[in-house]
Amino acid sequence: MEKTDIIAALSALAQETRLDIFRLLVQAGSEGRAVGHIGEKLNLPSATLSFHLTQLKHASLVTFRREGRSLIYTANFAAMNGLMAYLTENCCGGDTSDCAVGAAVCDPSGNATIKEGAGA
């Protein structure tokens, strides 16, 4: 990823509502979530949700598809993993055995998890 892409992604995630939306979509995996479900789950009005989804889309952190009359949003796992790889590429001088967390990547099937408060 280019540094400008990294900055755009971090900037998009540096806002509470967008971070909540992105985490919800990561939890949903490749199935994604309908806009209505996201709004209900996070108690967001349509206009607010639309604004934040647009910001995440511009940062390439989410994608969407149309299913009938519904828009289904999905986390862009390739972009997320690229961001994580960029942030950890020189972790512990390249010797990940010294890292407390290691160089884990997300498994969109839901098999990998990151616990709250985990980290170095």
The helix or strand, by DSSP H or E, that contains position 10, with its residue range, turns out to be: helix 3-13
Domain ranges of the chain: 3-76
What is the band of 35 on the pLDDT scale with cuts at 50, 70, 90?
A: very high
> What is the spatial distance between Cα 73 and Cα 63, in angstroms, rounded to a whole number?
6
Second-level CATH architecture of 3-76: Orthogonal Bundle (1.10)
Nearest of 44, 46, 70, 53 to residue 12 by alpha carbon: 53
Largest CA distance in the chain: 50
How confident is the model over 50-94, as pLDDT tens digits?
999 999 999 999 999 999 999 999 999 999 999 998 988 877 776
Nearest of 64, 59, 62 to residue 2 by alpha carbon: 59
| Amino acid occupying residue 38 | I
Instruction: State the pLDDT at residue 100.
Output: 58
